[in-house]
Chains A and B, each alone.
Chain A
Amino acid sequence: MNKLLKRITVRMVLSLVCPMLLAGTASAGEFDGFAGKRGQINIAGGTAHIPVMKNAAKRIMQANPGIRISIAAGGSGVGVQKVGEGLVQIGNTGRALSDDEIAKYGLKSYAFALDGVATVVNPKNKVNNLTSAQVQAIFAGRITNWKAVGGRDAPIHLYTRDEASGTREVFWEKLLKKGAIADNANVVASNGAMKTALAGDPDGIGYVSIGHIDKTIKAPRLDHVAPSQKNALSGKYPIVRKLYMNTKGEPQGLTAAFINYIKGPAGRKMTIDAGYLPLN
């Protein structure tokens, strides 16, 4: 409810402010791909994509009143299904398509962003490095005291995310190797709430999207690799996923223009603003 209200307020404020700003910030050529085009693009799927998609849609629609862009959530599975059945032009996924999916629907994938997930603790925590095995044992509830991993003698407080979270999905698949997460772990509803909880709890451990790491929390190295944007981009830090836009067959017209816009300079900036790393 509150989220909804906030969204409505944000939308109202933006719709007031954007036209004023737009005149000043729209660089020449930003909307060239849309020149003379009219019509509708429907987008559905991954939730992580939504901030970038919404931002892009808002700017494109304001500059080109003839174009309507609708964005729906639903998760990666829904994204594949809807674009495959031809219900939407772009189906977003937070994972690479399986060979089955590509074969069944004839889909084309366009990766535009990299999202990394890091294990995080309170800044007062002395632990500076954790191995993958240690993280798995901690989240499964097999290691329950910080002393066992070189910290102070205190019980470990687990924090995790709800099942709808893409952050949780990457963390669970790539770092925990689909292992168990202890039932008694506290569940928080967003990356922001995770940060607040860990900033206050000296014995807590959780995980956030790399874009969310700041001074209030600390990300220990994972197997001696720092979870930085640089290491995520070079491939040294492995707990990452790409965000994809998928189309049925080669994208045409408006859809192609939209994908080019997201991958172009304006889209790259929006990707960075949303806390992700833009891909070429």
Chain B
Amino acid sequence: MTVRLLHCAAAVSALSVLAIFGFLLWFSLPVFQGGALAALFSWHWRPMQGEFGILPMIAGSLCLALPTMLIAFPVALGLCAFIHGMGPAWAARPLIGMVRFMTSIPTVVYGLVSVFLLVPLLRSSLSGSGFSWLAAMLTLSLLVLPTIVLILDNQFRMIQSEIGLGALALGLTPAQQLLRLTLPLSSRGLLMAAALGFGRAIGDTLIPLMLAGNAPLLPHSLLDSIRTLTSHIALVVATDSQSAAYSSLFACGLILFIASFLVNLGLHDLRNVRRKGHD
């Protein structure tokens, strides 16, 4: 009975993902058929002049998600190393407690605090309006950090419970155990944490919408305003549902969907390759 229920639940989730994909494909079909594809892959979003290019938004999403991971992942790894042996034991528990607390703060709070603290700081200490790539990147890093830390922490914990006694018997210090055993053994966990963090970074809507400035341009400096695919959808969804601007949103959704699909696929492949290597 339980097994059958579980099968049902699995089927429903798989089917809904497929349904989402079908829905996006169906609605973006007119865009792909009507010769509007070339118009979609242009650098100019000026709906008033009939230009519906979404390349700046694709660039914006990547510009935001990749550097966010470059900041958040090493910091998360360092935090986990500190918690698991590199730092003093008394600091570990409050630190992981704080990270857990960070995951429970709603995204909008991060956004709001940044609008009133980070944006004015960037505006007065650097230049520009403060609503920028940099502001969104810093805040988003803080947002995805706890996700990565918690996955890594779980992974480290699992491995250390397996090898902890053996390592002690061999006379390894906690730092040696972490560097020589735990880290090399948790490569899968590292990949998974990176993929989930990236998915969170590229999918987040509120942070770029509130902080990145939303100008549909390719940024030339960290202080320039950028627009991501997600915030683009949020901004344009209220327009006339008959317009070309509106149908282009489904193409944006499709691109986001395919991006996260590819990340998961790549992860799956990497895992398989690694497993074969172990056998």
Instruction: Mark A residues whose CB is within 8 Å of B.
Output: 1-2, 47, 73-75, 77-78, 155, 157, 159, 162-164, 172, 178, 183-189, 193, 196-197, 200-201, 203-204
Among B108, B234, B238, the one with the most A-chain Cβ atoms within 10 Å of its Cβ is: B238
5 closest residue pairs by CB, A with B: A157-B129, A187-B214, A164-B238, A164-B239, A162-B235
Does the CB pair A74–B129 fall under 8 Å? Answer: no
CA distance A184 to B215 in the complex (A): 5
CA distance A162 to B215 in the complex (A): 10
Residues of chain B contacted by A74 (CB below 8 angstroms): 240-241
Does the CB pair B119–A200 fall under 8 Å? Answer: yes
Among B108, B120, B239, the one with the most A-chain Cβ atoms within 10 Å of its Cβ is: B239
Residues of chain A contacted by B131 (CB below 8 angstroms): 186, 197
Q: A185-B215, A200-B116 are in contact. List 8 more A-B contacts (CB 8 A).
A: A1-B205, A2-B206, A75-B240, A183-B46, A186-B214, A187-B213, A201-B123, A201-B130
Does the CB pair B129–A201 fall under 8 Å? Answer: yes
CA distance A126 to B130 in the complex (A): 21
Is B155 in contact with chain A by the CB < 8 A criterion? no
CA distance A183 to B116 in the complex (A): 25
Residues of chain B contacted by A186 (CB below 8 angstroms): 129, 131, 213-215, 225
Instruction: Mark B residues whose CB is within 8 Å of A.
Output: 44, 46-48, 108, 115-116, 119-120, 123, 127-131, 205-206, 209-210, 213-217, 224-225, 227, 234-242, 245
Residues of chain A contacted by B237 (CB below 8 angstroms): 164
CA distance A157 to B124 in the complex (A): 13
Does the CB pair A157–B236 fall under 8 Å? Answer: no
Chain A contact residues: over half helix, strand or loop, or mixed? Answer: mixed
Tell me how far the C-beta of A51 lies from the nearest C-beta in chain B, rounded to whole angstroms. Answer: 14
Tell me whether A163 and B116 are in contact in the complex, defined as CB-CB below 8 angstroms, given that A185-B215, A187-B215 are known contacts: no
Does the CB pair A189–B235 fall under 8 Å? Answer: yes
Residues of chain B contacted by A201 (CB below 8 angstroms): 123, 129-130
Tell me whether A73 and B214 are in contact in the complex, defined as CB-CB below 8 angstroms, given that A200-B116, A201-B123, A201-B130 are known contacts: no
Residues of chain B contacted by A185 (CB below 8 angstroms): 215
CA distance A204 to B119 in the complex (A): 13
Does the CB pair A78–B242 fall under 8 Å? Answer: yes
Does the CB pair B214–A163 fall under 8 Å? Answer: no
A/B interface sample: 30 pairs, CB < 8 A = A2-B206, A74-B240, A74-B241, A78-B241, A78-B242, A157-B128, A159-B129, A162-B214, A162-B235, A162-B236, A162-B238, A164-B238, A178-B48, A183-B216, A184-B217, A184-B224, A184-B225, A185-B215, A186-B213, A186-B225, A187-B213, A187-B216, A188-B214, A189-B234, A189-B235, A193-B210, A200-B120, A201-B123, A201-B130, A204-B129
Residues of chain A contacted by B215 (CB below 8 angstroms): 183-187
CA distance A188 to B215 in the complex (A): 9
Residues of chain B contacted by A187 (CB below 8 angstroms): 213-216, 227, 235
Does the CB pair A196–B115 fall under 8 Å? Answer: yes
Residues of chain B contacted by A203 (CB below 8 angstroms): 129
Q: Which residue of B lies closest to A78 (CB)?
A: B240
Tell me how far the C-beta of A187 lies from the nearest C-beta in chain B, rounded to whole angstroms. Answer: 4
Residues of chain B contacted by A77 (CB below 8 angstroms): 240, 242
Q: Which residue of A lies closest to B212 (CB)?
A: A186
Tell me whether A73 and B238 are in contact in the complex, defined as CB-CB below 8 angstroms, given that A183-B215, A186-B214 are known contacts: yes
Residues of chain A contacted by B128 (CB below 8 angstroms): 155, 157
Residues of chain B contacted by A75 (CB below 8 angstroms): 239-240
CA distance A47 to B115 in the complex (A): 27
Q: Which residue of A lies closest to B242 (CB)?
A: A78
Residues of chain A contacted by B123 (CB below 8 angstroms): 201
Does the CB pair B217–A183 fall under 8 Å? Answer: yes
CA distance A74 to B210 in the complex (A): 24
Q: Which residue of A lies closest to B209 (CB)?
A: A189
Tell me how far the C-beta of B186 lies from the nearest C-beta in chain A, rounded to whole angstroms. Answer: 34
Residues of chain A contacted by B241 (CB below 8 angstroms): 74, 78
Residues of chain A contacted by B236 (CB below 8 angstroms): 162-164
